């Protein structure tokens, strides 16, 4: 899946800071025929004040790099984002209180930090459309552009990997949850509904699906997109 919106290079880069230009130059070079073991992946997850991409705000973010069939925990990243808007009703989901994020990065500083980390990377996540939409809304508020990275949703990839399972009523109407896939693959889950916990679990799920793809001689990026 690609999120490049087709805007010309001139329109995208006009008046943008150098780190945005570097991001665009590196990311646009990603090619679907690249061998999987030569692709740099970034598994991401975020927690927000709610599900409304226009009203709600990102308050926690984590990413875990995966490269050459290896998870790189020492290069992982996580942060809190300080926001003036906070919905107490979301606390039972992410477990964060307002005081937990008070010393976090500003939203602008958060974007200036993560976008260079995503340069030249394929983004991976579970139900990743929401995460991308939240980040794009923040980017639109501050910098008037959106992410152009190729994106892999582990839910969609699971469906492609095991199509026969979706003939059954259990999955016909709904994509399996991250917990369900993790249990199937016997992946231990820790710190669920924290950004780093979910990003780490998703990274392990992705590795299982990648391994299955290679067993079927699907060795290029296009096979996972």
> For residue range 145-159, what is the model confidence (pLDDT) as tens digits?
999 999 999 999 999
pLDDT band at 136 (very low <50, low <70, confident <90, very high): very high
What pLDDT score was predicted for residue 171? Answer: 59
CA nearest to 146, candidates 45, 35, 23, 41:
23
In-domain check, residue 219: no
In-domain check, residue 218: no
In-domain check, residue 174: no
> Where residue 141 sits, what CATH number does that domain have?
3.30.420.10
pLDDT band at 1 (very low <50, low <70, confident <90, very high): very low
pLDDT band at 3 (very low <50, low <70, confident <90, very high): very low
In-domain check, residue 159: no
In-domain check, residue 212: no
In-domain check, residue 33: yes
Percent of the chain at pLDDT exceeding 90: 73
In-domain check, residue 225: no
- The pTM (predicted TM-score) of the whole model is 0.90
The whole-angstrom separation of Cα 167 and Cα 71 is 32
Q: What is the residue range of 132's domain?
A: 17-153+193-199
In-domain check, residue 169: no
CB-based contact 150:30 (threshold 8 Å):
yes
Q: How many domains does the chain have?
A: 1
């Amino acid at each position: 899946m690609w999120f490049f919106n087709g805007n010309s290079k001139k329109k995208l880069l006009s008046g943008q800071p150098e780190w945005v230009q570097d991001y665009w130059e590196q990311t646009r070079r990603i090619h679907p025929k690249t061998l999987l073991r030569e692709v740099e992946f970034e598994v991401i997850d975020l927690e927000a004040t709610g599900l409304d991409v226009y009203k709600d705000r990102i308050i926690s973010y984590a990413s875990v790099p995966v490269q050459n069939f290896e998870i790189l925990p020492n290069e992982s990243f996580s942060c809190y984002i300080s926001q003036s808007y906070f919905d107490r009703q979301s606390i039972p989901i992410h477990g964060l209180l307002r005081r937990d994020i008070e010393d976090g990065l500003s939203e602008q500083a958060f974007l200036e930090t993560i976008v260079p980390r995503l340069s030249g990377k394929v983004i991976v996540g579970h139900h990743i459309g929401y995460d991308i939409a939240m980040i794009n809304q923040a980017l639109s508020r501050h910098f008037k552009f959106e992410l152009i990275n190729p994106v892999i949703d582990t839910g969609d990839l699971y469906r492609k990997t095991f199509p026969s399972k979706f003939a059954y009523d259990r999955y016909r109407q709904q994509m399996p949850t991250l917990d369900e896939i993790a249990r199937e693959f016997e992946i231990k889950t820790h710190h669920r509904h924290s950004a780093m916990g979910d990003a780490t679990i998703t990274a392990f799920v992705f590795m299982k699906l990648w391994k299955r793809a290679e067993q079927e001689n699907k060795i290029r990026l296009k096979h996972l997109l």
